[in-house]
Amino acid sequence: MSGDSLYSEKVMDHFHHPRNVGKIENPDGVGTVGNPVCGDVMKLYITVKDGRISDAKFQTFGCGAAIATSSMVTELAKGKTLEEAIALSNKEVAAALDGLPPAKMHCSMLGEEALKAAIEDYRKKVKANNEPQNIEH
Amino acid sequence: MKTVYLDHNATTPVREEVLEAMFAIYRGVTGNPSSIHAFGRAARKEVEAGRAKVAAAIGAKPEEIVFTGGGTEADNLAILGVAFANRKRGNHIITSAIEHHAVLHACRFLEKEGFSVTYLPVSGEGLVDPKELANEIRPETILITVMTANNEIGVIQPVEEIGEIAKARGVVFHTDAIQALGKIPFSVEKTEAGLAALSAHKVYGPKGVGALYVRRGVRLQPLTYGGHHERGKRPGTENVAGIVGFGRACELALAELTAEADRLRLLRDRLCSDISKKISHVKLNGAPGKRLPNTLNMSFEFVEGEGILLGLEMSGIAAASGSACTSGELTPSHVLSAMGVPAALAQGSIRFSLGRENTLEDILGTVEVLIPVVRRLRLMSPFYDGSQDGTGTGGDTR
């Protein structure tokens, strides 16, 4: 069909051929953001090895931009150290997708937040595991 | 790739007969209808002929038709016009929660101007209760405005009952008949409407021209000033070609109404039943027996609407959705929300609105495209894990 596209070619590519769809069984961290009222829910799963994100997968309920953003976030996250991943901004994600329409930039925010939430979850789990055990006499 | 247009409630393509009528005007009837010379008189004649055709389509008299720049303007003229003309008598207006924004936003503006508005709730099926409406009428009520048929879900309101109540209680009744025109029989006598808004581009006429039916005796303040056109209700040089096109479109719509409604109903029902048979976890939105024959609004659980529309577009199919992402708003369809449809289901709603060019092939093809589109989105969704269908296939029977 003719007419200017709603989205860039990169966004459409990630929408039609998303990378890293699915769950990770026993993930090191999970981040869930968004809510159905706004129309976007993202769930990001990560595994962490030697301080780096070794694997990332996503499940998303949302529009084309939301799905493409999730796909791109998982691609960008893989291989990064936790510090690098925390620093990943929504602008970088949007830029990697050759831009998003202004009304859809909030989807890239969701991607940034989902990754941060997954890392936060991982750090909580690590802290909990390292807490000294209560020894009962 | 063949395109399949299933968004006729959004707009319709201008049909050939209408184009011919309009080009004849653009090329050969170029005067201002208010001029007293021959050029003007020829244009005046065409405008009045168009007016008569629009009037005939709704059982009105030609002098009761006021041409506007579209349906939204007609709704605004009705609501603001009646409100301001009657504000010394009263300041209460009754409407429904599922009206088009043209009505709702006009009402919200009036609230800021000191009017009081009651937004009637609707049932889970999208219907206004005439008894509830009657209960809301007060001595200060000056206007009731309830749409004949809803654009999103196609549900037809009990406007004849509402009109009777309004007449008995002496309150002016306006109905937004924009989606009803050309799809179902609509008569200003039967509905006892004092005003009715109409739009050309929903009936295979041009965009940019609409009409407001104004029954004799209804007090209406104009919204703009500058001349005596349209009996002082809407000044400005008439859109001659647009009016002629609108008239021709109405004439054809009236002639074809019954046959076309029957044809579309069959296609629409086939679309609905095939989707229900072949895709799991789908819900129909809107009272099944009380809808426009061409409209189908369904929710696809676990997935979001824009994603479905993008998938359809890959195969050349155009439809619409009630999701927030497709409307540019932050919340899903106010119509579905008013019906109590949960947010997630409203986000996953798709509206198919059929029209003249659609065939059975279009319908069957759409279902075949929908199946893998929905499946793929479900397999990506955090809300779907296969247990809902026992097969993990994304919820279809193949």
The complex's ipTM? 0.91
Global pTM exceeds 0.90 = yes
Nearest to A39 among B318, B325, B379 (CB): B325
Residue A38 catalytic? yes
Share of chain B above pLDDT 90, in %: 93
3-state secondary structure chain B: CCCEECECCCCCCCCHHHHHHHHHHHHHCCCCCCCCCHHHHHHHHHHHHHHHHHHHHHCCCHHHEEEECCHHHHHHHHHHHHHHHCCCCCCEEEEECCCCHHHHHHHHHHHHCCCEEEEECCCCCCCCCHHHHHHHCCCCEEEEECCCECCCCCEECCHHHHHHHHHHHCCEEEEECCCCCCCCCCCHHHHCCCEEEEEHHHCCCCCCCEEEEECCCCCCCCCCCCCCCHHHCCCCCCCHHHHHHHHHHHHHHHHHHHHHHHHHHHHHHHHHHHHHHHECCEEECCCCCCECCCEEEEEECCCCHHHHHHHHHHCCEECEECCHHHHCCCCCCHHHHHCCCCHHHHHCEEEEECCCCCCHHHHHHHHHHHHHHHHHHHHHCCCCCCCCCCCCCCCECC
Q: What is the mean pLDDT of residues A10-22?
A: 97
Q: What is the mean pLDDT of residues A94-114?
A: 92
Chains A, B: CB pairs < 8 Å: 73
Nearest CA in chain B to A41: B382
Nearest to A38 among B314, B330, B381 (CB): B330
- Contact A63/B328, CB-based, under 8 Å? no
Average pLDDT of chain B is 96
What pLDDT, on a 0 to 100 scale, did the predictor assign at position A103? 87
What pLDDT, on a 0 to 100 scale, did the predictor assign at position B387? 86
Nearest to A61 among B314, B342, B382 (CB): B382
Q: What is the mean pLDDT of residues B32-46?
A: 98
Residue A63 catalytic? no
What pLDDT, on a 0 to 100 scale, did the predictor assign at position B388? 86
- Contact A103/B328, CB-based, under 8 Å? yes
pLDDT band at B398 (very low <50, low <70, confident <90, very high): very low
What pLDDT, on a 0 to 100 scale, did the predictor assign at position B1? 82
- List the 77-106 stretch of A: residues with Cβ below 8 A of B: 103-104
Q: Does B372 touch chain A (CB under 8 A)?
A: no
Q: Does B316 touch chain A (CB under 8 A)?
A: yes
The pLDDT of residue B390 is above 80 = no
- Contact A62/B344, CB-based, under 8 Å? no
The pLDDT of residue B395 is above 70 = no
Q: Does B226 touch chain A (CB under 8 A)?
A: no
What pLDDT, on a 0 to 100 scale, did the predictor assign at position A136? 57
The pLDDT of residue A97 is above 60 = yes
pLDDT band at A94 (very low <50, low <70, confident <90, very high): very high
